[in-house]
């Protein structure tokens, strides 16, 4: 069965005449709605009627004209505007479907093509009123097409609550910009066509006129309109709602500068600034964009400036709105500290300009992410607690093993997990952890020096002469190398400590990757007999057949 929906339209009812029939609170409400649309409501009710007080007040205030008569057919054809032969523009019956008069009025209106609405009687109506949210020029109307006005009003409240405040005034402002652009275009075209000076009132010199051709104007016009539509399209609603006078003049000014290129008012939050600026330090997870937390996703959508670490996965960078400036850390060997300083300074400058700066890190910001250092730095710069927000991320240290089917803790196998680094400060090797049979150890930043690491784990250092000596790792300890976990090119190599160096040499490396070692590695995955390592390619972790879940940029 085909089900139809209503044709939603917005009626310009200014100066229309609306007949309101009834005396109850609904009649009062209809009068209010009519008045706010600029129409003139006329109330039809006998002089003896007891009007609802709100209705009485509107009558007393002269807003509503009261014709103290019972309804008569000719009211429909005599009380309206002269220009349409005195036919009224719409009729609202508020006495409900059981009133015989309702059906009569409905038939009469339908026959004469006068829009009619009867309370609680869809079959008697030619139109219905929407549950509306109004904010300045912005109106949002909801209908369930007769499935329940309470439900519609609930949905309307929910929709309205999800909108940023001041959206109505943003509509006003943007509407102004649009109108101004159109007006100026129009004037310029007229001026060009006539070969006359442009009207002084728009503040442009006569020479301007001579320098500019029709093509120039068209180009600029397109550019400016394009900016305007880009802003409407790409700025987060929250930002649009907070649009400032300065933003508006930036948009308009870009028109006068006919030759130059311009930016779309990045200064959106530059005024009143420093009180609003803040920094969000967030983790972006191991690689797959679906591993982002909702909090970090929101931060990405709302940031004014994003400062990302080099390892932040491409799938995550792809989520950044096109208008948001992004700076990616220039970290390369020998430049790590300089790159770190540069980002930190940019962050502080941004915050002082009133921006929401997002420091996007890979994995979790506090797990080998220098997150603590950054927070300390921001504090030293005088940014207090409410200016610096830290959001967790899914760390590769725990998610990579998971995606390789390795439970880091496992009853009767491993009751501890240690996360450590294979690389110390200034490239020096950190102290190797001793072997604990019931412990799983995850080594980050270790694969580039895997040979050295395995050597340290399995043999004593020259300096380790005194007893009690560190417990060494058995050479046959199961381990796994997990690379690019959660990315489409994820790879897992399962082997043992004594073969891992050879395996990596033969298979090559695919950074970033980590090493997991301990008996938990073989709990769900025993190596086939006779094999010294196995390689598994690809990531299937999120392939649970739900629509909208893809394998990350594949
Ligand atoms: N803060 C990050 C770790 C940063 S240190 C986190 O919580 O995940 C960088 C190291 O993390 C890399 O050298 C590598 O060992 C590991 N790593 C990061 N992403 C990885 C991934 N997708 N797969 C495997 N290891 C990863």
Least confident of 81-95, 191-205, 300-314, 336-350: 191-205
Residues 401 and 489 in one domain: yes
Domain membership of residue 148 (yes or no) is no
Quickly state the pLDDT bin for 245 (edges 50, 70, 90): confident
Distance (angstroms) between ligand 1 centre and the Cα of 470 equals 27
Contacts of 310 (CB under 8 A, 6+ apart): 328, 329, 330, 331
Quickly state the pLDDT bin for 352 (edges 50, 70, 90): very high
Cβ atoms of 47 and 56 within 8 Å: the answer is: no
Ramachandran bin of 263, using left for φ above 0, alpha for ψ from -120 to 50, beta for the remaining angles: beta
Residues 299 and 402 in one domain: no
- The string of pLDDT tens digits covering residues 154-168 is 999 999 999 988 899
Say whether pLDDT at 254 is over 70. Answer: no
How does strand 513-517 pair with strand 439-444?
antiparallel
Residues 312 and 377 in one domain: yes
Least confident of 172-181, 355-364, 499-508, 515-524: 172-181
312, 360, 363: residue to mutate for ligand 1 pocket, most atoms within 8 A of CB: 363
Domain membership of residue 138 (yes or no) is no
* DSSP output for 379-436: HHTT--GGGEEEE----HHHHHHHHTT--SSBTTTBSEEEEEES--GGGPPPPPPPP-
Say whether pLDDT at 112 is over 70. Answer: yes
- CATH code: domain of residue 506: 3.30.950.10
Say whether pLDDT at 442 is over 60. Answer: yes
Distance (angstroms) between ligand 1 centre and the Cα of 312 equals 10
Which of residues 103, 129, 155 is at a domain's end?
A: 129
Domain membership of residue 553 (yes or no) is no
Domain membership of residue 545 (yes or no) is no
Can you tell me the mean pLDDT for 370-392? 93
Distance (angstroms) between ligand 1 centre and the Cα of 415 equals 23
- Ligand 1 in contact with 288 (CB < 6 A)? no
- Ligand 1 in contact with 371 (CB < 6 A)? no
Gap between the Cα atoms of 368 and 257, Å rounded? 48
| Residue 43 or residue 98, greater confidence | 43
| Residue 161 or residue 219, greater confidence | 161
Instruction: Tell me which H or E stretch contains 545.
Output: none
- CATH code: domain of residue 40: 3.40.50.720
Radius of gyration from C-alpha coordinates of the chain: 35
Residues 282 and 302 in one domain: yes
Please tell me whether the peptide bond between 468 and the residue prior to it is cis, using omega within 30 degrees of 0: yes
Quickly state the pLDDT bin for 327 (edges 50, 70, 90): confident
Residues 455 and 376 in one domain: no
Cβ atoms of 68 and 43 within 8 Å: the answer is: no
- CATH code: domain of residue 319: 3.40.1010.10
Say whether pLDDT at 207 is over 90. Answer: no
Gap between the Cα atoms of 356 and 180, Å rounded? 30
By alpha-carbon position, which residue is closest to atom 15 of ligand 1?
444
Can you tell me the mean pLDDT for 134-148? 93
Cβ atoms of 105 and 97 within 8 Å: the answer is: no
Gap between the Cα atoms of 256 and 69, Å rounded? 62
**What's residue 253's pLDDT?**
67
- The string of pLDDT tens digits covering residues 466-515 is 778 899 999 999 999 999 999 989 999 999 999 999 999 999 988 899 99
512, 517, 538: residue to mutate for ligand 1 pocket, most atoms within 8 A of CB: 512
By alpha-carbon position, which residue is closest to atom 9 of ligand 1?
445
Distance (angstroms) between ligand 1 centre and the Cα of 289 equals 15
Which of residues 220, 240, 257 is at a domain's end?
A: 257
Least confident of 59-63, 318-322, 334-338, 542-546: 542-546
- Ligand 1 in contact with 315 (CB < 6 A)? no
Residues 408 and 522 in one domain: yes
Can you tell me the mean pLDDT for 242-254? 74
Residues 309 and 381 in one domain: yes
Domain membership of residue 137 (yes or no) is no
Three-state SS annotation for 46-97: CCCCCCCHHHHHHHHCCCCEEECCCCCCCHHHHCCCHHHCCCCCEEEECCCC
Residues 359 and 404 in one domain: no
**What's residue 485's pLDDT?**
95
Residues 405 and 526 in one domain: yes
Residues 533 and 409 in one domain: yes
Distance (angstroms) between ligand 1 centre and the Cα of 286 equals 7
Quickly state the pLDDT bin for 268 (edges 50, 70, 90): very low
Quickly state the pLDDT bin for 465 (edges 50, 70, 90): confident
Domain span holding position 390: 265-394
- Ligand 1 in contact with 444 (CB < 6 A)? yes
Distance (angstroms) between ligand 1 centre and the Cα of 513 equals 6
Cβ atoms of 350 and 305 within 8 Å: the answer is: yes
Least confident of 156-165, 228-237, 524-533: 228-237
Which of residues 394, 427, 447 is at a domain's end?
A: 394
Nearest-atom number in ligand 1 for the CA of 445 is: 13
Domain membership of residue 4 (yes or no) is no
On average, the pLDDT of the chain sits at: 86
Residues 247 and 275 in one domain: no
Domain membership of residue 551 (yes or no) is no
Gap between the Cα atoms of 457 and 48, Å rounded? 100
At 531, list the tokens: 């094999």
Residues 408 and 345 in one domain: no
pTM passes above 0.85: no
369, 390, 396: residue to mutate for ligand 1 pocket, most atoms within 8 A of CB: 396
Domain membership of residue 1 (yes or no) is no
**What's residue 241's pLDDT?**
86
Ramachandran bin of 126, using left for φ above 0, alpha for ψ from -120 to 50, beta for the remaining angles: alpha
- The string of pLDDT tens digits covering residues 78-90 is 999 999 999 999 9
- Ligand 1 in contact with 286 (CB < 6 A)? yes
- Ligand 1 in contact with 364 (CB < 6 A)? yes
Q: How many structural domains compose the chain?
A: 4
Half-sphere exposure (Cβ direction) of 207: Cα atoms closer than 13 Å: 0
Can you tell me the mean pLDDT for 332-355? 85
């Amino acid at each position: 069965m085909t089900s139809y929906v209503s044709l939603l339209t917005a009626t310009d009812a200014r100066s229309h005449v609306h007949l309101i029939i009834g005396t109850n609170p609904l009649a009062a409400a209809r009068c209010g709605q009519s008045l706010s649309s600029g129409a003139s409501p006329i109330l039809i009710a006998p002089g003896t009627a007891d009007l609802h007080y709100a209705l009485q007040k509107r009558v007393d205030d002269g807003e509503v004209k009261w014709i103290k008569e019972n309804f008569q057919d000719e009211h429909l054809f005599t009380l309206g505007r002269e220009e349409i032969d005195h036919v009224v523009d719409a009729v609202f019956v508020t006495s409900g479907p059981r009133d015989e008069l309702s059906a009569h009025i409905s038939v009469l209106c339908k026959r004469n093509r006068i829009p009619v609405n009867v309370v609680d009687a869809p079959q008697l109506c030619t139109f219905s009123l929407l549950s509306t949210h109004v904010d300045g020029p912005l109106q949002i109307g909801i209908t369930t097409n007769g499935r329940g006005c309470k439900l519609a009003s609930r949905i309307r409240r929910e929709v309205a609550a999800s909108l940023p405040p001041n959206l109505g005034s943003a509509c006003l402002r943007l509407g102004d910009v649009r109108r101004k652009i159109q007006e100026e275009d129009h004037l310029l075209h007229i001026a060009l066509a006539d070969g006359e000076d442009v009207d002084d009132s728009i503040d442009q010199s006569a020479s301007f006129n001579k320098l500019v051709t029709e093509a120039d104007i068209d180009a600029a016009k397109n550019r400016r309109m394009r900016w305007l539509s880009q802003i409407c399209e790409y700025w987060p609603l929250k930002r649009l709602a907070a649009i400032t006078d300065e933003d508006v003049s930036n948009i308009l000014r870009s028109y006068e500068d006919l030759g130059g290129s311009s930016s779309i008012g990045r200064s959106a939050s530059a005024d009143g600034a420093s009180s609003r600026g803040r920094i969000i330090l967030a983790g972006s997870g191991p690689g797959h964009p679906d591993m982002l937390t909702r909090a970090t996703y929101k931060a990405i959508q709302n940031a004014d400036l994003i400062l990302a670490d080099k390892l932040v996965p491409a799938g995550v960078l792809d989520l950044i709105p096109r208008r948001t400036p992004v700076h990616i850390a220039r970290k390369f060997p020998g430049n790590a500290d300089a790159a770190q300083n540069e980002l930190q300074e940019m962050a502080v400058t941004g915050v002082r300009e009133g921006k929401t700066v997002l420091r996007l890190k890979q994995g979790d910001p506090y797990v080998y992410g220098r997150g603590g250092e950054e927070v300390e730095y921001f504090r030293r710069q005088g940014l207090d607690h409410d200016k610096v927000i830290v959001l967790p991320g899914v760390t590769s240290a725990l998610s990579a093993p998971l995606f390789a089917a390795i439970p880091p803790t496992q009853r009767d196998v491993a009751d501890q997990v240690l996360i450590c680094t294979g690389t110390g400060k200034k490239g020096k090797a950190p102290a190797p952890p001793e072997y604990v049979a019931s412990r799983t150890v995850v080594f980050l930043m270790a694969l580039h020096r895997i040979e050295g690491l395995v050597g340290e784990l399995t043999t004593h250092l020259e300096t380790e002469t005194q007893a009690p000596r560190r417990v060494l790792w058995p050479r046959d300890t199961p381990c796994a190398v997990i690379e690019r976990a959660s990315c489409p090119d994820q790879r897992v190599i399962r082997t043992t400590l004594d073969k891992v160096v050879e395996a990596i040499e033969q298979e090559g490396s695919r950074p970033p990757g980590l090493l997991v070692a301990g008996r938990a590695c073989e709990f769900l995955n025993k190596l086939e007999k006779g094999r010294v390592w196995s390689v598994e390619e690809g990531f299937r972790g999120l392939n649970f057949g739900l629509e909208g879940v893809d394998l990350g940029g594949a």
